[in-house]
Structure 1
Amino acid sequence: MSVSLAHLIGLLDRELRVTSFADYCPNGLQVEGRASVSTVVSGVTASQALIDTAVERSADLLLVHHGFFWKGEPAPVTGIKRKRIKALLENDISLAAYHLPLDAHPQLGNNAQLGRLLGVVNAAPINPDDPACLVWQGELSQPCSAPELNRLLEARLGRAPQMIAGGAQQIERLAWCTGAAQGYIDQAAAAGADAFISGEISEPTVHNARELGIHYFGAGHHATERYGVKALGEWLAQREGLTHYFVDIDNPV
């Protein structure tokens, strides 16, 4: 079965509410390929390895979280950017990317999926009235220590987090935001969280965690953001009768 590319992009744009976000890149269709789609490949980042796999799988649409054309990057289509785009165009594969809208989606998003993976109870944005809210919170079904939560994250994500112990002995309330969101630690502490989970860590994050009295876990940018694009691809394929392959290109960050 095949579906028009225009229909799929319109469906994705509406479902992810792309107009609600001021983002660092264009959300939606970034590279236009063939007009109809029967096979979708999804992955975290539109790297050359993922594009090559999409070619091997005879994909019509490549669906990613991290696409192209970021603010502040050089505009010329040269070097690795040229090679990536050339491979898409030569094989008539479309590229659609959803960044912040995919982080925030209440069911399919990276934050919702991470909360589900960790078994968080009452998981929800800290500001449920804001459709673009990126920080989530909830309770652990069973309180645990920081080392115990660290072990849980490693078991579920397949990567050892970097833990900064800064809070109470027992963790009951979590806040989190996937990816490079360590700067939201202040919001997590203000919301009353005992621990904050994100993907990356910066030098000031250590001091902020200790001074705010909150544990911090840098659980990996890629590791925390595998699950939204996979869920989105599965949702799209089931809804429209498409073939879907999620491809996880190894990334230790």
Structure 2
Amino acid sequence: MTVDLDADVAEYALRLGDDALVLCQRLCAWVTHAPTIEEDLALSNIALDLLGHTRVLHAYSGRLEGSGHSDDDLAYRRPEREFRNALLLELPNGDFGTTIARQLVYAVYTGLLYTELTYSHDTELAGFGARAAKEVEYHRLHAARWTVLLGRGTAESHRRIQAGVALVRPYAAELFEPDELTRRLADNGLGVDPTRLLEPWEKEMAAVLNEAGLDLPSPSWRATGGRSGLHTEALGPLLAEFRSVYHQYPGATW
């Protein structure tokens, strides 16, 4: 059987782009609601980085797919079941502690992923990985700093960040879940085997959480399904809000 590696890379780029897009929208909801004006700016700047990642990855996916889909087409015109983001990214923001816990999980993961992606035989993915890894390093430092501040702050801040870590922990498993697509891409030097990232991710997470006086609990269950289009009930409202202006003014430009 002949395998279409271009189609595999297109799907892979779509997954990574969907991760970034959905988290971007979640972080945008903190603007004017973050604890400080500085955090409004910090979270919005991280969201802008993620939006940039989305546009590069979706545009590349569309080109490889061969259907002529632009990054806007992939963001605005797909049904919910065609989104391939991990479930972690679509979870409601919760309180600030939960958002920071999710940021730490994702930023540590993407820092490792994009660094490995720089060695891809696909020059587009390698170039993206090199650029994105530098931006994600700031995201990681930001999340780690807040995790330590909250963990070593008041009893209430400690309770909330620990609760956030416990909440998002089972959803992290999906990030490291392999499937036939990731195996083929890794075997051909195009993508990253996610199972290789788990051990360094756990080590880095443990270092930050130990400094914060927090625990990384073992998950009693593991989330799955986002990569195949099976999402939580939280994704639909997020996409509806994100697309509201587009649907009110279809075809408009500005």
TM-score w.r.t. structure 1 length? 0.26
Structure whose alpha-carbon radius of gyration is higher: 1
Kindly indicate whether structure 1 or structure 2 has the higher relative contact order, using CA contacts under 8 Å at least 6 residues apart.
Answer: 2
More helix by share: 2
